[in-house]
């Protein structure tokens, strides 16, 4: 059973989300993976993580959109395909939420790095052995420990 009113209302609500996504993909600076590859391995790993988050946002957004539009248009359908789309929609929303959490982790790291007064934000990452010694020391600031094995502020800004 086709429900054109539900499809129209859903399309109007979704258009704002898609407009925001188009703006963010076309006007926000993309990650320069070539520049990140010239830096150390930790910076390259951070750049790859950010690129992965952006890709996952796009993929889950697209799949969730298809599942949701199908549910809205064929809301009265009780066929197996309709049931499958409802299950797919719930699974996609869980995956989308996981991607949001990964993005929050990356944003929090970037904000701590950018706004930290700690000198570790400007230092190159330390080795794992040095890090293990660092966490055993008393009196070391938590921000220093957090930033010690991360990409430096200047390197992060370059990609």
Averaged pLDDT for residues 24-36:
80
How would residue 9 be classed by pLDDT, with cut points 50, 70 and 90?
A: low
CB-count burial class (<10 Å; 0-12, 13-18, 19+) for 99:
buried
In a domain, 47, yes or no: yes
How would residue 76 be classed by pLDDT, with cut points 50, 70 and 90?
A: low
Which pair of structure tokens corresponds to residue 10? 């859903």
71 is in which domain, residue-wise? 4-115
In a domain, 96, yes or no: yes
Rg (CA), the chain: 22
In a domain, 158, yes or no: no
How would residue 131 be classed by pLDDT, with cut points 50, 70 and 90?
A: confident
Helix spans in the chain (H): 4-27, 33-38, 41-73, 80-115, 128-136, 142-147, 153-158
Q: Which residue has the tokens 């055993």?
A: 136
In a domain, 65, yes or no: yes
- pTM of the predicted model as reported, rounded to 2 decimal places: 0.71
In a domain, 124, yes or no: no
Please tell me the total count of domains within the chain.
1
In a domain, 144, yes or no: no
């Amino acid at each position: 059973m086709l429900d054109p009113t539900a499809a129209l209302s859903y399309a109007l609500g979704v258009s704002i989300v898609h407009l925001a996504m188009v703006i963010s993909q076309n006007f926000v600076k993309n990650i320069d993976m070539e520049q990140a590859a010239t830096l150390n391995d930790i910076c390259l790993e951070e750049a790859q993580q950010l690129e992965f988050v952006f890709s996952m946002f796009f993929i889950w957004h697209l799949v969730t959109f298809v599942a949701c539009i199908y549910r809205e248009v064929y809301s009265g359908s009780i066929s197996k395909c309709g049931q499958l789309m409802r299950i797919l929609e719930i699974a996609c929303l869980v995956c989308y939420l996981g991607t949001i959490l990964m993005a929050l982790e990356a944003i929090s790291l970037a904000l701590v790095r950018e706004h930290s007064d700690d000198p570790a934000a400007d230092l190159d990452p330390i080795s794992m052995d040095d890090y293990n010694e660092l966490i055993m020391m008393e009196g070391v600031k938590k921000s220093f420990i957090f930033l010690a094995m991360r990409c430096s502020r200047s390197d992060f800004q370059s990609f």
